[in-house]
Amino acid sequence: MNRVGLHRVWAILFILPSWLVVLLYGAAYVLTLPQLKVFPSLQPPPPVVQPRGRILSADGAVLATSPRRGERRYPLGELAGQVVGYTERAHGTYGKGLAGVEGRRNLVLAQGKDVVLTLDSRVQAIAEEALARGMARAQAKWGSVVVLARDGRILAAANAPFFDPQSPRGAPDEDPRLVNYAFLHLIEPGSTIKALTAAVLLETGAVRPEERIEVPYRREVADRRVHDWRWHKTERWTLEEILAHSSNVGISLLAERLPRSTLHRYFERLHLSDPGLLQGQTARPLFPELEAWGPVEYANATFGQGFAVTALHLAAAMNTLADGTYHPPRLYANEPELSVRVFRPETVRALRGMLERRLARAARLPGYRLAGKTGTAQIAVQGGYDPERVVALFAGFVPADRPQATVVVVLYDPQVPPEERYGSKLAAPVFKDVAAGLLSLWGQPPDRAKLGVR
């Protein structure tokens, strides 16, 4: 072996052990690595959780949204809180809808689809601000304001005490903030119903607008007495004056010219007995069958006593006086518009004229034509009525000549002194504030002539 060959042998003998050491070290390192799966897993991939759909107002405001999986946010806080509702909640995770739109449209929202309401966030804010001021003045247990467009769209449904769906909440039967009072609490409508009774009287020709009748302070009906809310001597009043004085005696006397079945039929056509209003999302009215209307019950019904409805029922019925047509109230933007003619246009035009000329002082807005009717209803208790507790109401039209909105205000059980517990003193100012907000939103200037400006 020559010298070159010998050097090659020594090189191989030197390199071979080093190569073996590196090989063994690499093998040991590979063995310590986590096992890699060469073949794909036979188990199905985890399901994709669809973010919950949004709840939107008609003007595009976001009332509820889920920016990330498991979250639920209510960007406008208390705005329409009871209408929007809430979902089940645990450790910051939001699940199934439990109340309001969240509950009623849970399946749609759970599929990631949006729900668009008829509510206008601007009108809702106007209604809630006016209601907040009214609640502070009245110190009422609860209150509601409903604003309907002439075609039946619910533009606002405000409820107080107010509720932010994002906030901690108590049990549904213990937390008064959770209740959608406008849809779910029954109240006797009181003297607001006199406007509807008057419309039936005019529609059927039972009374002429210029006709006068004698109206005493009280009258006997079967074994009971019907009396007015304040004493007055016997007067000769027209229908307009009977409405202006909110006379129980006067309206019940005129209504005796009608068969009881006629008024009952009209009240049914106005859906005051409808248990399925708003697809069953309202409380069932307490409305008697015709057979239960004896002389006393009939007289009471003519001025809004002896039956109970929700604020929404009342608003939808009063909305008929806007154009003579009943439009079922709608909360969802994709619902079809329906309507049924109830009164002739000339009937409701004449009646609104009466309500405009005799509008409560606290409901008037200088420079604008408004119309409406006050109501003060005693609260029914077991065996009768509580003489110390009332509901203050107002139902009116904005504007009076061509209504674009019907507004109903309810203030339940105000705690102010007895001489202040009237719809004319408590609910009428709330209507005025809502009307002012609506007219400003619509950009409608005041009538310079009504302001006394040339």
Does residue 433 have a pLDDT over 90? yes
pLDDT tens digit sequence for 106-139: 999 999 999 999 999 999 999 999 999 999 999 9
Residue range 331-376, pLDDT digits in tens: 999 899 999 999 999 999 999 999 999 999 999 999 999 999 999 9
Instruction: Name the residue ranges covered by the structural domains of the chain.
Output: 55-117, 123-441
* Closest alpha carbon to 103 in 55, 136, 145: 55
CB 164 within 8 A of CB 81: yes
pLDDT over 50 at 70, yes or no:
yes
- At 278-293, the pLDDT tens digits run 988 999 999 999 999 9
Is the separation of the CB atoms in 260 and 315 below 8 Å? no
* Separation of alpha carbons 246 and 304, rounded Å: 11
Q: Is the dihedral of CA 241, 134, 371, 286 positive or negative?
A: negative
Three-point CA angle 84, 88, 94, nearest 5°:
90
The answer to whether 119 touches 56, Cβ cutoff 8 Å, is: no
Separation CA 52–CA 111 (nearest Å): 7
**pLDDT tens digits, 387-397:** 899 999 999 99
pLDDT, residue 411, reads 98
Task: Report the pLDDT averaged over residues 179-193.
Answer: 97
Tell me what percent of the chain is helix, strand and coil, each rounded to the nearest 5: 40, 20, 40
Closest CA to 405 of 381, 447, 376, 439: 439
Q: What is the mean pLDDT of residues 21-26?
A: 51
Mean pLDDT value across residues 53-66 = 96
pLDDT above 60: residue 453: no
Q: How much is the pLDDT for 39?
A: 45
* 123-441 carries CATH number 3.40.190.170: no
Please give the Cα distance from 190 to 110 (Å, whole number).
Answer: 42
Span 178-193, mean pLDDT? 97
Task: Give the per-residue pLDDT at 89.
Answer: 78
The class that CATH gives domain 55-117 is alpha beta
**pLDDT score of 94 more than 80:** no
**CA 321, CA 314: separation in Å to the nearest integer?**
12
Residues 140 and 412: their CA atoms lie apart, in Å, by 6
Nearest to 69 by CA among 46, 48, 41, 45: 48
Tell me the pairing of strands 384-398 and 405-412.
antiparallel
What are the E-state strand segments in 36-162? Answer: 55-56, 62-64, 86-90, 93-99, 115-116, 142-149, 154-160
| Mean pLDDT score of the chain | 90
CA-to-CA separations, 236 to 111, 240, 355, in angstroms, rounded: 65, 12, 19
Residues 215, 189 contacting (CB under 8 angstroms):
no
Whether 420 and 383 have beta carbons less than 8 Å apart is answered as no
105 vs 331: CA distance, rounded Å: 12
Report d(CA 93, CA 84) in Å as an integer.
18
Which pLDDT score is estimated for 252?
97
Question: What is the value of pTM for the model shown?
Answer: 0.88
Distance (Å, rounded) from C-alpha 372 to C-alpha 378? 20
Percentage of the chain modeled with pLDDT above 90? 78
